[in-house]
Chain A
């Protein structure tokens, strides 16, 4: 089912949580809403679910205007960050709940068969008789997903689904959710503040800030071509150097970057640690090494420039560099944004 948000607005008391958001999610797509806290991503998800109502604009499911359809009749599966499993029901009863309260009456045997099928899908065979308190966090979230899928939702919505889990379980569940999505092909929208999670999992990433969309695109597009300093900083570590644009070139602390087409004026130059390198000779920014941090996949060098700024750069594991070395920070690539 295709979802379309058309100029959606939501205000809480006096706080504009969502400002004029328009977005299309194709049928079968897996889309991430990514943003820092307070960016409105959860509010958007809850409006798509019908747990909140939009103050303005429309939400369409396919061709149907779903803006005012209550959550009960909207046919969405919603997975909560803290699982929201019914604590007084067993895993099997939790999964069966949606089928039991459904307006479509089902035979007891049919419900049991479907519960077994879903337990197999989420790989929790044999745990149907446990209570939520008796299983692990990762298992609980899988039960929550099975429960949401039991009602054959048109759309699957997940609110920070792995936020409460530890890193390893998280990575594994991420892979597993991707597999389930390929298997079922259900239109899925999920909210996260974790860039890695969004980039790993989604077909398309929608980046939000202060209630509006700042950039959307495939993980490749948003990573390779960030359109603003915010997106650049939010997606990963980035060094910022004040720069000045003159005649199609950006000058920053002795480094010169070609920015043909950009208007003259003050600008900010951004470069990720891998975009920078360390060399004994220029051209580049003169600096001395204040610290080297070793990591499994390389070495991170903290260099202090003559103006006192700290730049972080990544070099290969074999590179001989140590604190106190004097040399130059050179640029492999950089992005310049006007301020």
Chain B
């Protein structure tokens, strides 16, 4: 029921026009200054020396290699972390076991630890003076300052993304559906693929998209373990930093535009997924509500 037209309106917080306009104004100004302006600058600066320079930068072997490396890291880290996230969410929400609370906390760690700390930690574990470094070196296995290190660091940083999307949803869904499927004779795999997965697919894809965005953009952890070897262990974010320090502003911005483009693409995918996810909630209107 709405308020009676003649009745006094109950004043709510921020009901005044002045308050409302000020609040919206502040938000808009901050968005413009903090988010839109830098994005625009990337576009403007990237083409500041003309299309030719932009093209040359992008097609430069070092840039191409950096792009390839970034994509490679994503191609490995995203599927691995997706599998990990699904397994962790499934275990935590559908089973009871000792140390469940501990596992939940451990999964969160990469979110709260600064990526550079993660990088340094990897240095101590796999570095030449580190824990496994000498052993690995003896067998000729190179992890740090090589592709495996980059992939490992990326994986560490993005480990929680998929699990964090799935756990709250799967917790809310409970175990009834799985129990129903098993009582009808379905195997564990069948239950997972026919019942669990279809009910979380949009959250899962959303987690994958976020994970991918973070892998491609990761700087801190990767910069420690990669060694910044141009054309060999430079991912796109590291490459941008290098170009910038070399006073190649246009080159840096051109490379940055690629990363920004990837990000925009990710956002579009995310919005599209959210739309799809919204379609999951079927119309509430129910013509047969009281028929039985």
Contacts and interface: CB of A to CB of B under 8 A. Distances in A.
Contacts, number: 88
Contacts of A80: 176, 179-180
A133 B282 contact: yes
27 contacts: A50-B183, A51-B183, A71-B179, A72-B182, A82-B176, A84-B179, A86-B177, A97-B181, A97-B184, A97-B186, A98-B186, A101-B181, A101-B184, A101-B194, A133-B282, A134-B283, A135-B288, A136-B289, A136-B290, A137-B292, A138-B291, A139-B291, A147-B184, A148-B183, A148-B184, A150-B184, A169-B290
B180 A138 contact: no
A97 B194 contact: yes
Interface centre among B179, B283, B289 (most CB of A within 10 A): B179
B193 to A, nearest CB: 11
A164 B183 CA distance: 21
A101 B186 contact: yes
Nearest to B284: A133
Interface string B185-205: 111001000110011000000
Interface in B158-191: 176-177, 179-187, 190
Place the interface of chain B in its size category: 20 to 34
Contacts of A137: 292
Contacts of B183: 49-51, 71-72, 74, 76-78, 148
A150 B184 CA distance: 9
A136 B282 contact: no
A131 B184 contact: no
Nearest to B198: A88
A87 B286 CA distance: 15
Nearest to A70: B182
A72 B179 contact: no
Contacts of A134: 282-283, 286, 288
A101 B291 CA distance: 31
Contacts of A138: 291-292
Contacts of A103: 185
Contacts of B185: 72-73, 98, 101-103, 151
A172 interface: yes
Nearest to B195: A86
B282 A151 contact: no
Interface centre among B182, B291, B292 (most CB of A within 10 A): B292
Contacts of A21: none
Interface centre among B176, B183, B283, B286 (most CB of A within 10 A): B183
A169 B182 contact: no
Given A78-B179, A84-B180, A136 B186 contact: no
Contacts of A51: 179, 183
Given A97-B194, A135-B288, A71 B177 contact: no
Contacts of A259: none
A173 interface: yes
A73 B187 CA distance: 10
B292 A172 contact: yes
